[in-house]
Structure 1
Amino acid sequence: MRILIIHTAFIGDIVLSTPLIRKIKDIYPESKITYVTTPVGAQILRNNPDISEIIEYDKRKAHSGINGIFQLGKRLRYENFNMVISLHRYLRSSVLSWLTRAPIRLGYDVASGSFLFTKKIKYDKKLHEVEKILSFIEGGKPARDYKIELYPGDEDIKKVDKFWEEKNLSNKKVIVIAPGSRWFTKKWPLDYFNQVIKELEKKENITVIIVGGADEKGLNIVYSDYTIDLRGCTTLLGLAEVLKRADIVLTNDSSPIHIASAWEKPHILAIFGPTIKEFGFTPWSTNSEVLQIENLDCRPCSIHGGDKCPKGHFKCMMDITPEKVLDKLC
């Protein structure tokens, strides 16, 4: 079996698809899996031993526009895939699936261009995103037996080993804080993060590490020499290796939730404001909990969050006070 997975969404979505890769190998052990994703998605999937090839779909540059889609589709058609699994619900992915001319093309029934699939998979809103994705392949083990799998490379591991030793972190309780998000309303207030960091810095047995991409270096996080700032300093798999070693990960509803869920050790504290658990993007790790304001009639206001609170009060985040979070951390 030559199987193609197409998923060009956000980093967290790509991470949540890794249990499907394992399931495919369980059902089709001799299969060769190709994965089409964004350049950033390709970074987080590197070193996965079950993926034969990763093809970068750069929809903003090399593969932009209609011509870019058709050129990539032409390349994929030559691969003679037996099955294509389109996990993204956008038209470009549906068209790309069709262009492969694979005899089996699977996609969600609610996807744009779903008529281009040979079989439509029910998009069950009640399921966790991992369970939705696993439903593309029948059989196998119970969903919870399939884990998120990430594979930091030797270089990333060596760098984190050296960093851990230099900072003497093996003898500390390490709390990793991820204050960023693509969407403003998904961000717990920076002033709240700063209050939490200030209190944690008073604890001799605790070391705080702040993580995020280069874009998040502009967030006004206030800290002293007792806190370590790694924003923009790691690769995605390097970040995964840092989260693997953390005792606690405090994060907004963003990709670090899902990256941290690849590991057993960290206890994940996920802050949910405009979004809700029922959307299916809670931590896949059972060593986790979601902090949210219950019974707030304006929640959810959208599936992704937005640039401002539609009601103007931002109670879904403002009412999750630093004191409530500190009670969970200390």
Structure 2
Amino acid sequence: MRILIIHTAFIGDIVLSTPLVKKIKESYPDSYLAYVTTPAGASILKNNPYINEIIEYDKRGAHKGLRGIYELGKRLRYENFNMVITPHRYLRSSFLSWLSRSPIRKGYDVATGSFFFTEKIHYDRTKHEVEKLLSFIDCPETNNKRYEIELFPDEKSKEKIANIWKSNNLENKKVVAVAPGSKWFTKQWPVEYFNEVVEEISKDKEIGIVVVGGKEEMSIPLSNKNFVDLRGATTLLDLAEVLRRSDIVITNDSSPIHIASASQNTKIIALFGPTVKEFGFFPWSKNSEVLEIKNLSCRPCGIHGGKKCPEGHFKCMREITPKKVIETVKKYLGKEIDG
């Protein structure tokens, strides 16, 4: 059985697909599993023992335009896949599935280009994204099993982060990782709030703070310097190891939520503003807590957030106070809460 997954969405979406990867392998233990994804997706899936082949779809480079997708489709057709699973709901991915000429092509019923599929899977908006993905495989032996998010940093990443921990005296401290960025402005908790949290918890010398993010997060003006700044300094699997070693992760509704969910021992404090848990992208880890302002008539205002608050007041984020986040951190760490 030769099986292919086509998923070229955001990093968080690719991370959320790892339970599906394992379910496929447990449902079809002798299968050959390949995965088509973006270069960034390929980097986070690296070392996954359940994937036999990762095929990069570089839609801005080698596979740009219609000719590029045809060339990739030709390669997939040559590989003779028996089943193609396409969680990505966009036309290019649906078309690529058809180009594979696989006899079984599964995709969501709401996908653009769903007519390219031979089997349409119901996109149940009431379920977590991981549960939606798991529904692609219907197997009595595996249907009722909970599958966790799994990422596999290599020894190089583990050694790199261990050295950072050692050189910054983090080994005997409780470590709080702070992820202040997001692709969408309205998903970002105000930077002055992050500064207030870092200022307060850094007063406790038993707590170490690391700030994580990509190069784009390096411009976020964090005024307090009592932290280890890893922005722009880690690969995605390095980041997975950082979050695994951390006791707490404070993050917006962004990919660190899902990367941190690969570690069951890391407490996730997720800040949800314009988006809501009902979209299905809340932390899969049971060791998590979503902080949000409920009963706002303007919330949610979009599945991805936006460049500015449509109402101009940004209450969904501004009313999640630094005090509430600080109290949540201290409560989890068993620290005394002021006031």
Query: 1:160 Cα shift?
Result: 1.1
2:155: which partner in 1?
Answer: 154
Query: 1:170 Cα shift?
Result: 2.1
SS at 1:293 equivalent: coil
2:234: which partner in 1?
Answer: 234
Q: List aligned pairs for 1:91-102, cutoff 5 A.
A: 91-102=91-102
Q: List aligned pairs for 1:190-201, cutoff 5 A.
A: 190-201=191-202
Query: 1:180 Cα shift?
Result: 0.4
Post-superposition CA distance 1:162-185 (Å, at most 9, x none): 121222212111000000000000
SS at 1:234 equivalent: coil
The TM-score normalised by the length of structure 2 is 0.96
SS at 1:257 equivalent: helix
2:12: which partner in 1?
Answer: 12
1:170: which partner in 2?
Answer: 171
2:109: which partner in 1?
Answer: 109
Q: List aligned pairs for 1:31-180, cutoff 5 A.
A: 31-139=31-139, 140-141=141-142, 145-180=146-181
SS at 2:171 equivalent: helix
Post-superposition CA distance 1:227-279 (Å, at most 9, x none): 11000111100000010010000000000000000011110000000000000
2:286 is equivalent to residue 291 of structure 1: no
Structure 2 residues not aligned, in runs of 5+: 331-339
SS at 1:171 equivalent: coil
Q: How many Å separate the matches in 2 of 1:142 and 1:232?
A: 39
Q: How many Å separate the matches in 1 of 2:52 and 2:64?
A: 25
Q: Which of structure 1's runs of 4+ aligned residues deviate more than 3 A? A: 140-144
2:265: which partner in 1?
Answer: 265
Percent identical pairs in the alignment equals 64
CA contact under 8 A between 2:168 and 2:228: conserved in structure 1? no
SS at 1:73 equivalent: helix
Letter in 2 for 1:180: G
Query: 1:62 Cα shift?
Result: 1.1
Q: How many Å separate the matches in 1 of 2:144 and 2:53?
A: 25
Letter in 2 for 1:179: P
Letter in 1 for 2:124: D
Query: 1:143 Cα shift?
Result: 5.8
Q: How many Å separate the matches in 1 of 2:22 and 2:12?
A: 17
Post-superposition CA distance 1:186-236 (Å, at most 9, x none): 000001001111111111111110000011101111222x31100011110
1:185: which partner in 2?
Answer: 186
Post-superposition CA distance 1:17-76 (Å, at most 9, x none): 000010001110000110000000000000001111101101111111111111100111
SS at 1:196 equivalent: helix
CA contact under 8 A between 1:22 and 1:146: conserved in structure 2? yes
1:27: which partner in 2?
Answer: 27
Post-superposition CA distance 1:85-133 (Å, at most 9, x none): 0010000000000000000000000001101100000000000000000
SS at 2:55 equivalent: strand
Q: How many Å separate the matches in 2 of 1:101 and 1:86?
A: 13
CA contact under 8 A between 2:27 and 2:142: conserved in structure 1? no
CA contact under 8 A between 1:134 and 1:143: conserved in structure 2? no
**Distance change >3 Å, CA 143–CA 251, structure 1 → 2:** farther
The TM-score normalised by the length of structure 1 is 0.98
Letter in 2 for 1:158: E
SS at 2:194 equivalent: helix
CA contact under 8 A between 2:177 and 2:243: conserved in structure 1? yes
CA contact under 8 A between 1:172 and 1:207: conserved in structure 2? yes
CA contact under 8 A between 1:131 and 1:143: conserved in structure 2? no
Query: 1:144 Cα shift?
Result: 6.0
Letter in 1 for 2:176: I
**Distance change >3 Å, CA 79–CA 254, structure 1 → 2:** same
Q: How many Å separate the matches in 2 of 1:83 and 1:100?
A: 10
Structure 1 residues not aligned, in runs of 5+: none
**Distance change >3 Å, CA 48–CA 160, structure 1 → 2:** same
CA contact under 8 A between 2:177 and 2:209: conserved in structure 1? yes
CA contact under 8 A between 2:128 and 2:280: conserved in structure 1? yes
Q: How many Å separate the matches in 2 of 1:208 and 1:165?
A: 14
